[in-house]
A and B are shown apart, each in its own frame.
Chain A
Amino acid sequence: MIRAARRPLAMLTLALAAAAVHGEVYQEPGAFIAEVFGSTPAPKVLWLTRELQAQAAAILGHPPAQLRQRYWSDAARSVWILEETGKEELITAGFVVADGRIDHVRVLVYRESRGQEVRQSSFLKQFRSAKLSQGNRLDREIDGIVGATLSVGAMERMARLALLFDRLSHG
């Protein structure tokens, strides 16, 4: 084993860890919520019951990370700030849902080293007016992006989850 290798390996590991922790913040979640409503309303809470956890797990392919989901809403819209892993890191995205359909989507924090194309409006506009169909799937196919397949998958899963949560938040 070569002693000289330790420093570059350690620096690479630390650099990757640092990049992963910080990521690229395109918009603070608070600013996104304020932009949608004009001000920041008090958060509401959707508790993930066992049944809802099972439905969320079926969409995500893994159990949801937490049991309490915060959201913000007025009479017309609800906003969901969700996180899901693309390849290795979490992607934070904001979903605005109105009348059971996605009004618009924005990638707020992107922590992966590749696949930032999912934040482009040309990709995100595919989600506009999407709603849930049978089996909690989207009513349309979302075109992928070469080199960002896993991030695209994560965005689609979060969109389905936002629509499911919105439906359940209305009782």
Chain B
Amino acid sequence: MSPRLLLLLFLRRWHARIGLAAVVFFLFLAVTGVVLNHATELGLDARYVHVPWLARWYGVAGEPPRHAFRSGKHDLIAANGRWVLDGRISADRVPQPIGLVELPDMIVVASSASLYLYGKDGVLIDRLERNALPAVPVQAIGAGARQLVLRTASGIFESSDALSWQPAPRDAIAWSAPADLSVAERERYSEMLEPGVSVQRVLLDLHSGRFAGRYGPLAVDLLAVFLGVLSLSGAWLFLKRKHRRERH
């Protein structure tokens, strides 16, 4: 058998073996690649997976909620960058709240640098950042004489509409304060507020191999080399057969 024929047989055999061995991985890379290419349209960047083992794997340690803020019929429980207001879970990455106040026509959640105004139906009316606040950081939020009241290092301010702020008297203010959670509540809200990882992040890490740790990208590199070998050997085999056919 001539060396050229030997090489041809060798290439054909290994082309088939590598192709068969890597088919699952290639399909996986192709599918994750296509999905990642359309991640924004599919809304994967805004979707989070809240699974305990995945959060542990990413080292995102979940903190159980420690307390609740209560005002009238409303309650707010926060942990891991999310909060539950009257049973409705907020979007991800909201700030840590420092209090909750119920006014005649709205519910207000305060963090140290922002206010979230909700309607009584839980729909977000407005979000006020530091520029729209009388001073930051906000130290406490309260209600007094149907007015919203904020305590800051620069003084106490009140507003009826969270648009214009005036200095407020220091008396007759009911400040929002944390309340203890029962054991049952803590368990329920811990489950609801499990930390999450974005779907896009997980897909990207799976696609690049980073999900498997330090050696994952090297495994993906190896697959890329296999793909290169398959392309070259496939092209060579095709051209060889074509050349032979033309000679006959």
Interface residues of chain A, those whose CB is within 8 Å of chain B, are 1-2, 4-11, 13, 16-17, 20-21, 28-30, 42-43, 45, 65-68, 70, 85, 87-88, 150
Contact = CB atoms under 8 A, between A and B. Distances in A.
Contacts of B173: none
Given A10-B59, A65-B127, 10 more contacts: A1-B212, A2-B212, A2-B215, A9-B58, A9-B210, A20-B93, A30-B131, A42-B164, A66-B126, A87-B45
In this complex, the member of A13, A17, A65 whose beta carbon has the largest number of chain B beta carbons within 10 angstroms is A13
B2 to A, nearest CB: 48
Interface stretch (B13-21, B66-74, B116-124, B176-184): B116-124
Interface in B198-217: 200-201, 205, 210-216
Contacts of B93: 17, 20-21
B59 A6 contact: yes
Given A17-B93, A87-B45, A5 B216 contact: yes
B123 A67 contact: yes
Cβ-closest 4 pairs across A and B: A5-B213, A10-B59, A2-B213, A30-B131
Interface string B118-152: 01000111110101100000000000000000000
30 contacts: A4-B214, A5-B213, A7-B59, A8-B214, A9-B58, A9-B205, A9-B210, A9-B211, A10-B58, A10-B59, A11-B59, A13-B59, A16-B201, A17-B93, A20-B93, A21-B93, A42-B163, A43-B132, A43-B163, A66-B127, A67-B119, A67-B123, A68-B117, A68-B125, A70-B132, A70-B163, A87-B40, A87-B45, A88-B45, A88-B46
